[in-house]
Amino acid sequence: MSLDEIRPKSARAASPLTAAVSTARWIRSAGIDGEHGRHWVANPDPHGRSAVGSQPRSLYSGAAGVVLFFLELAGATGQEAYLEDARGGAEWLAATWRRDDDLSLYHGLTGTMIALMEAGWVLGDDRLTAEAAAIAELIVSRGRTGADGFGWTHDPTQRGDGGIILGLLRAATQLGMPAYEAAAVEAGLRIARLPVPGRRLGDVDGAPPDAITPGFLAGTAGTVFLLARLYGVTGDERFLGAARSGAGFVREVSVVGDRWAMVPHHVPQARELHYAGFCSGAAGVARMFYELYRVTGDPGDLDWLERLAHGVVDSAAPPRRTNGYWNVACQCCGTAGLVELFVGLWAVTGRASCLEFARTLAADLVARATDHEGRGYRWYQAYRRLRPGEVSADTGYMVGAAGIGAALLHLDAAGQPDRPRRVLLLPDNPFPAIPVPPTALLQTP
């Protein structure tokens, strides 16, 4: 029996856009309306629990990420109803964000700020923009200067100060507030002075306490991305020097072939475990190398981006599953994050093979979606590799359906170079916000 024969007919027929619309139908079914607006249950299954626990406002698994998805879907379809979904979520965030203490990008207030800025701009609502600015002011005020410099969490990675700094840089540009950039740069200088390679995992994801990860979300690559971004903003060579040091470590610990490269999950203990996804694997590390290329123009960085992409194609092409590419679909560590990588690479290089592989990945995503009684697409997955029996379907962005739907919308936009449109990218995504190669944009009808 072929794979097509066991797929639901609706899955076989779905385009990226229609799949995203079906995803929105399921997310809507998880909505809760109240006096402050709308939010969404992370896992609406009876007795269901979110893969990451309760983070109702977060970019990772809560309302902030769902708002971004509905804003994008409205732009892709022209349907005002999706703007109302986004508005309800943004109003709830604006009314309730003061209940949170976490300042981070993915799990806290920096992510809420990003969602409110985008919603305020798209919806033309100054109240939402004002609340985003209030969050930015709070974040800056919470920074502390210690013996080693200015910062918030003492964690230089994207999970800590790295993500906060990227959010403040975005806010400085979008809200026109140089003070936010100044705080971001000051905190970045503290990180630039830290020893590279970076951070000990300390029992994260089953790693030993003395492990070091070269990956993106909690490791060296994400910190290097930040330093490269700060170099691009300031031209300060201290940032570039630190970034080059960290990138050298990533190259040193990687496994390299004729045209490919793979990055270990952590060293020295897991040199043979190569994640494919964003958080700790090739999809995230590739962002680091592209950001370096973007700000320096060094072709060696672009070569490493392509090597990592080749490593994914050679080792993790659907329907294969490996220890580093298991039963997981989400943006964080699964297939949706790989779609983002290959759509971005298409926008950078214009190579048709990149877009075709993104479509292969998307077809695999759609085929694996569940659509109980036509209530919309959701993805059941084993979010944690070490707990393969712990399967759930979430609504959120980095861990669930909203982020998968966003990746499908980015692929849909890339497939229409004759109708270019802006997509909403998070601050740690360096690829073009119009996911179409410049050569295509310059072509005349």
pLDDT tens figures, 131-176: 999 999 999 999 999 988 999 998 999 999 999 999 999 999 999 9
- The CA-atom distances, in angstroms, between 344 and each of 79, 175, 332, 399, 432 are 26, 26, 16, 20, 7
Average pLDDT of the residues in 368-377: 91
Model confidence at 9: pLDDT above 90: no
Least confident range from 21-35, 158-172, 315-329: namely 315-329
Is the C-alpha dihedral spanning 117, 120, 124, 130 positive or negative?
negative
C-beta of residue 339 within 8 angstroms of C-beta of residue 358: yes
pLDDT, one tens digit per residue, over 376-415 is 999 999 988 888 888 999 999 999 999 999 999 999 999 9
Q: Return the pLDDT at 1.
A: 25
* The pLDDT of residue 141: 98
Task: Judge if the upstream peptide bond of residue 319 is cis by omega within 30 degrees of 0.
Answer: yes
Q: Indicate whether 190 pLDDT > 60.
A: yes
What's the pTM?
Answer: 0.94
Contacts of 245 (CB under 8 A, 6+ apart): 196
Q: How far apart are CA 431 and CA 342, in angstroms?
A: 10
Q: Whole-number mean pLDDT of the chain? A: 91
Least trusted range by pLDDT, from 51-60, 274-283, 291-300: 51-60
Burial of 423 (0-12, 13-18, 19+ CB in 10 A): buried
By the 8 A CB rule, do 195 and 201 touch?
A: no
If pLDDT is split at 50, 70 and 90, which confidence band does 305 have?
very high
Q: Name the residue with higher pLDDT: 267 or 179.
A: 179
Which contacts (CB < 8 Å, 24+ apart) does range 411-416 have?
411/16, 411/339, 411/343, 411/358, 411/359, 411/362, 412/15, 412/16, 412/17, 412/20, 412/76, 413/76, 414/343, 414/346, 414/347, 414/355, 414/358, 415/16, 415/355, 415/359
d(Cα 67, Cα 57) in Å, to the nearest integer? 10
Residue 322, classed as helix, strand or coil, is strand
Strand-pairing partners, residue 31, are: 40
Place 204 in a pLDDT band, splitting at 50, 70 and 90. low
Supply the pLDDT for residue 12: 43
Q: How far apart are CA 157 and CA 294, in angstroms?
A: 20
Query: CA-based angle 356:413:281, to the nearest 5?
Result: 55
**Confidence band of 316 (pLDDT split at 50, 70, 90):** low
Q: Is the pLDDT of residue 434 over 80?
A: yes
